[in-house]
A and B are shown apart, each in its own frame.
Chain A
Amino acid sequence: MDILKQMAEAVIAGDAEHCVSLAKQAMENNLDPVEVIQQGFSKGMDTVGGKFESGEMFLPEMMQAAEAMKGGVAVLKPAIESTGSGSLTEFGKAVLATIQGDMHDIGKNIVKLLLSTSGFEIIDLGKDVKVAVIIDKAEEIHADVIGVSALMTTTMGYMPELIQELQELGIKEELPVMVGGAPVTEEWAKEIGADGYAKDAVGAVRTAKGLAKK
């Protein structure tokens, strides 16, 4: 089996040690580290995402796979940085939070997991996070995208507040907002002026990439 396939398999198995040793082997063989990530580890993570969605894998296994991938990627990091051949977090920084008053965070955590293995640096503010805290953090670190999750009709009302606040502060253009969560719909997201919406975690990766690239 070629090494890229082995890397994908090691991620699927959540085998951190094997991911590290394969990454070292790739370096010894002078393989392009960016390609190794994209064609090896990330392919494995794509499979894991699919298996999770279809119920064949559970959240902790997906978390373990993500950790294993991160272990391997850490080995490749110096090479990427020294050659300037690309960035591990090519899509930049995403600030994530479950909105004020809302303790439902599993959906947001799944989104976080997939974004963190898809070229984003994640700043996870947790659950029940005030609008002002989200904005302050996003401004402070010059986030490329803000992602907020709401599960209740009584908390999704804080999403338009967040967007209005960004508008009033004149920073809406720099800080695109992606919204999601069970009661949030695409139409509503448009209505409140959100820049992006995703129905599920796989869609969130697509949407976030689109927003961060703008």
Chain B
Amino acid sequence: MVTFWEVLERCGKGQRMQESDYDALLYKSVSKLIEKYDIKFDPGQIVPDDDSLADRAYEAAVELFEQVGFYCLDTKRVVRFSRSEIEERVALAPDTYTWGEGKDRGVTYSRKVEDLRDPSFVASGLGVPVPQDMFVKVCQAIASVPLADAFCGVSLQDTFRGIPIRAGHPVEVAAAIWDVSKRREAARLAGRPGLGLYAMISCAESTAAIIAAAREQFGALPADVTQNGAIAELKVDFARMNKVPWQTESGAGIAGLYGPLMGGYAGGPEGTMLTQIAHFFLGLFAFNADYHIPFPIDLHQVCNSTSPMLWLVSVYSQALARNTHLLNESVSMAAAGPATRMLFYELAAHAVTATVSGANLVAAGIARDKYPERVSTLEIQTASEVGHIVARMGMTRKEANPLVKALLSKYEKDVPDAPLGKKFSEIYDMEKVTPLPEYLKLYESIREELAKLGLNYSLL
């Protein structure tokens, strides 16, 4: 197997080229491959039930990765792998990961297309910034989502001890330590002290901050996971890879994080879908990833709830589920904000699509994943319930397609002007850390609506 050390050597030896030439090479390669493998987005088939499409997508992605590998920003070199090296690395990758400990343990495992087993579910605020005084309460609310197998909090906003939190600054390290200990406190307050963290730190990303904070004395559990992000598209640098030796030797879980942008360097939904799969290979080679966190988004809408994006999610997930046992923790990214009907629909559509396509679920990026305090829980809970119901009903892709289209018809036209929704403190009783009655009512009414669309809630 090509080891991480061999990869590092290749980073110094591969073909040298400018970053912009690599971007052009990627586009040229994906354009040719989508033609060669006859891959075309079909707005009528958001959840295609064509096995051959999924297999062609996988084949094309392997060929893509053979052609373009990944780009190392530090050495300006293209790092390539042969087909047999890719196949061997994929075969040797983990097919399960266990988060947390004790009775709060959660397991994520490799699922198949139309798998009857529940998807694993991560409740997440996905890095949305919140001020220090709300941090624990928001994390507690997230950790309380009943079906969560692991959680991730939010991101600490602005300042720590009155000093602005800045990447690479000493205060980032201090904030990271505080962050981890408060997340663990939040899990305890949620009554789930052993609930695992699927991504340990989100306001801090530097290696120094992560290594400093990921200690049991600060509340990190041994299986809590640290993540390494690839840079779009298919790029890495040593500042991110330099966590790997520590992660590997300390036994910390490693998640690869990839957010390819549809409309960007890989072109449309077809090319971005192939690039998404190729990122899984990048994660194995460059990060030694145990599991993978893909969050493809539309570059303009910063969400993945539109038709082409859900198609992309479905096809890349099917391709991986049919051809590998890689752990695919598919992230839903929504345009609408908390406590809007639209947000519920968007997350439900993603949950149906991803679950029947063989993925596990992470929810969610809310309100285009950038506005402070735009984080909520009952929509996330709905996504977890929908995912479980769909699997337990044995829903097929053929059955999922009209359901997803029915959901899309309720919101897709509103994506460009999606409502921002409410702030967390407007939908939660901040003393009790429970949803306010109005918000609960909205959740109940959405449940009824989803039941009318055919979801069998009695299976929960």
Contacting pair A157 B300 (CB below 8 A): no
Cβ of B437 under 8 Å from chain A: no
Contacting pair B157 A153 (CB below 8 A): yes
Contact indicator per residue, chain A 69-104, by CB within 8 Å of chain B (1) or not (0): 000000000000000000000000000000011110
Interface centre among B27, B167, B204, B231 (most CB of A within 10 A): B167
Contacting pair A58 B267 (CB below 8 A): yes
Cβ of A35 under 8 Å from chain B: no
Contacting pair A153 B231 (CB below 8 A): no
Q: Which residues of B contact A13 (CB under 8 A)?
A: none
Cβ of A171 under 8 Å from chain B: no
Contacting pair B299 A154 (CB below 8 A): no
Given A58-B264, A58-B267, A60-B267, check contact A157 B164 (CB 8 Å). yes
Contacting pair B231 A182 (CB below 8 A): no
CB distance from B237 to the nearest CB of A (A): 8
Cβ of A183 under 8 Å from chain B: yes
Contact indicator per residue, chain B 255-298, by CB within 8 Å of chain A (1) or not (0): 00000010111011000000000000000000000000000001
Q: Which residues of B contact A158 (CB under 8 A)?
A: 166
* Closest Cβ neighbor of A52 among chain B residues: B263
* Closest Cβ neighbor of A158 among chain B residues: B166
Contact indicator per residue, chain A 29-69, by CB within 8 Å of chain B (1) or not (0): 00000000000000000000000110100111101000000
Q: How far is the CA of A155 from the CA of B172 in the complex (A)?
A: 11
Contacting pair A55 B129 (CB below 8 A): no
Given A60-B24, A183-B370, check contact A55 B165 (CB 8 Å). no
Q: How far is the CA of A162 from the CA of B167 in the complex (A)?
A: 15
Contact indicator per residue, chain A 125-164, by CB within 8 Å of chain B (1) or not (0): 0001000000000000000000000001111011000000
Contacting pair A102 B167 (CB below 8 A): yes
Contact among B168, B265, B302 with A60 in the assembled complex (CB-CB below 8 Å) = B265
Q: Which residues of A contact B206 (CB under 8 A)?
A: 101
Contact indicator per residue, chain B 202-233, by CB within 8 Å of chain A (1) or not (0): 01101000000000000000000000010110
Chain B facing A: main interface SS: loop
Q: Write the residues of chain A forming the contact surface with B, with a CB cutoff of 8 angstroms.
A: 52-53, 55, 58-61, 63, 100-103, 105-106, 128, 152-155, 157-158, 182-183
Q: Which residues of A contact B268 (CB under 8 A)?
A: 58
Interface centre among A52, A60, A105 (most CB of B within 10 A): A60
Contact among A55, A100, A153 with B155 in the assembled complex (CB-CB below 8 Å) = A153
Q: How far is the CA of A157 from the CA of B298 in the complex (A)?
A: 27
Q: How far is the CA of A205 from the CA of B298 in the complex (A)?
A: 23
Contacting pair B298 A154 (CB below 8 A): no
Given A53-B300, A55-B298, A182-B370, check contact A100 B167 (CB 8 Å). yes
Interface centre among A55, A154, A182 (most CB of B within 10 A): A154
CB distance from A131 to the nearest CB of B (A): 11
Cβ of B158 under 8 Å from chain A: yes
Contacting pair A55 B300 (CB below 8 A): yes
Cβ of B23 under 8 Å from chain A: yes
Q: How far is the CA of A58 from the CA of B260 in the complex (A)?
A: 13
Q: Which residues of B contact A105 (CB under 8 A)?
A: 231
Cβ-closest 4 pairs across A and B? A101-B167, A60-B27, A157-B164, A157-B166
